[in-house]
Amino acid sequence: MTLSAEESVADEGRHPIPVLPDAPVRREYRRRFDLLRAVSWLASASVVVLLVFILGEILTKAFPAVHRFGLGFVTGIQWSPNRDVFGVLPVILGTVESSLLALALALPLGLAIALFLSENFLPDSVRQAIRFVVELLAAIPSVVYGLWGIFVIIPLVQSLGGLLARHLGFIPLFEGPAYGNSLLTASLVLALMVLPTITAISRTALVAVPNSLREGAYALGATRWEAILGVIIPTAAPGIVASTILAFGRAMGETMAVAMLIGNSQRLSWSLLSPSNTLAALLANQFAEAEGIQINALMYAAILLVLLTLVVNMAGEAVLRRTQKATAGLA
């Protein structure tokens, strides 16, 4: 039976048909036209073209503004659409500042949870539950964070910020008057929103630390925290750094919650307690009513946002890839 294919070929050969003996075999194995292959190739090609198209489309629409304002757009500190003056330096600073502050708040918390989830402080079932809760934090829509921030964080910052301004107002960072809609408000909510990113990626890095390293540390007499601080965290450090960079990228792109809380002011200010703006929030607030050159200016701002997040994300991914290679070598 196993030889049937060969036999049939041989049979064909014995019959006086006007084809070459191996013709049926050839036809059987010839590559047929596969519609699904063609269609799916087309889909893949369009996905790649799509990204080029998106960037190209935004660039084209931004071109009049790029042409007219040049680099002065990036360094200008005035944004007044009714006079056709557009400068986004305060907005870029607001974007970076609010995201950095959010990271500073979120990193200790995220790292604590990641340690909690990767080391055996708790039984596995509890860890699963905490992990699920943190993942849920990531799934809550941005606009719901904004709504919650208006009713919980703004009053909090108003009372807390008043105190800060009264007692530490001599430091430019805490200069009054304290507004509810401020950089600090946005950063507090942003910290909550990037927490899942930090936790998830740091946890992966911590779990990837080989058990032999933990065992080695304990065998040398290290306490649990000496092992964590002296061996586990240093080994996982590149992954934790990557998680922070990627969280930075996410924070800069977050739109709705920030747009609802930051106060949307393009004025340059040192104080964390005064209103500010971010690139994403600027786009969200001004696109619907924009006309003429303002649309082009906003497209220009969109390009800056894409560039910022793209560079940060690519850096994060690069660190992450190197981390994975490095820990793979340890195991």
Partner 1 sequence: MASPENFFSNAGRQTSPLRLLRNRVLTFLCVSLSLLTLVPLFSIVVLVVKNGLSLVSPSLFTQLPPAPGLEGGGFGNALVGTVVMVGISLLLAIPLGILSAIYINEYAPASRLSGAVRVVAKLLTGIPSIICGVFAFAVVVLPTHQFSSLAGGVALSILILPTILLTGEQALLGVPKAFREASFGVGATHFQTIWRIVLPQALPAMMTGIMLAVGRAAGETAPVIFTALFSQNWISSVMQPSASLSVLIYNFASLPYAYHVKMAWAASLVLVTLVTVTNVLTQIVFRKKYS
Closest CA to 207 of 242, 235, 244: 235
Write down the least CB distance from residue 169 to partner 1, Å.
27
CB nearer partner 1, residue 44 or residue 75: 44
- Spell out the alpha helix ranges (H) of 140-291: 142-148, 154-168, 183-207, 211-219, 224-227, 233-253, 256-261, 279-286
In this structure, what token pair is assigned to residue 165?
């301004």
CB nearer partner 1, residue 35 or residue 71: 35
The answer to the question of residue 120 lying near partner 1 (CB under 8 A) is: no
CB environment 28-38: b (16+ within 10 A), e (fewer): eeeeeeeeeee
Q: Please give the residues from 71 up to 110 whose contact with partner 1 meets the rule CB under 8 A.
A: 108-109
* Residue range at the interface with partner 1 (CB under 8 A); choices 19-27, 70-78, 252-260, 320-328: 252-260
Q: Please give the residues from 11 up to 40 whose contact with partner 1 meets the rule CB under 8 A.
A: 32, 34-37, 39-40
Report CA 290 to chain centroid distance, whole Å. Answer: 28
Write down the least CB distance from residue 25 to partner 1, Å.
13
Write down the least CB distance from residue 253 to partner 1, Å.
3
Among the listed residues 8, 72, 223, 325, the single contact to partner 1 using CB under 8 A: 223
The answer to the question of residue 291 lying near partner 1 (CB under 8 A) is: no
> What's the sign of the alpha-carbon dihedral 108, 110, 112, 118?
negative
CA distance 101 to 114: 20
CA distance 272 to 295: 29
Q: Residues 181-220: x/- map of binding to partner 1 (CB under 8 A)?
A: -----------x--x-------------------------
Among the listed residues 72, 120, 121, 159, the single contact to partner 1 using CB under 8 A: 121
CB nearer partner 1, residue 98 or residue 165: 98
In this structure, what token pair is assigned to residue 310?
């793209």
* Residue range at the interface with partner 1 (CB under 8 A); choices 18-26, 78-86, 142-150, 157-165: 142-150
Enter the DSSP assignment of 179. P
Q: Please give the residues from 294 up to 313 whose contact with partner 1 meets the rule CB under 8 A.
A: 295, 298-299, 302, 305-306, 309-310, 313
Residue 116 CB coordination number (10 Å)? 17
The answer to the question of residue 270 lying near partner 1 (CB under 8 A) is: no
CA distance 53 to 51: 5
Residues contacting partner 1: total by CB under 8 A? 81
Q: Please give the residues from 148 up to 177 whose contact with partner 1 meets the rule CB under 8 A.
A: 148, 150-152
Secondary structure element (H or E) that encloses residue 320, with its range: helix 293-330
CA distance 261 to 253: 15
* Residue range at the interface with partner 1 (CB under 8 A); choices 14-22, 162-170, 249-257, 263-271: 249-257
> What's the sign of the alpha-carbon dihedral 200, 206, 211, 215?
negative
Write down the least CB distance from residue 285 to partner 1, Å.
9
Among the listed residues 10, 20, 143, 163, the single contact to partner 1 using CB under 8 A: 143
CB nearer partner 1, residue 238 or residue 253: 253
Q: Torsion angle, CA of 265/268/273/279, rounded to 10 degrees?
A: 50
* Phi/psi-derived region of residue 256, left when phi > 0, alpha when psi is between -120 and 50, beta in every other case: alpha
Among the listed residues 12, 61, 63, 77, the single contact to partner 1 using CB under 8 A: 61
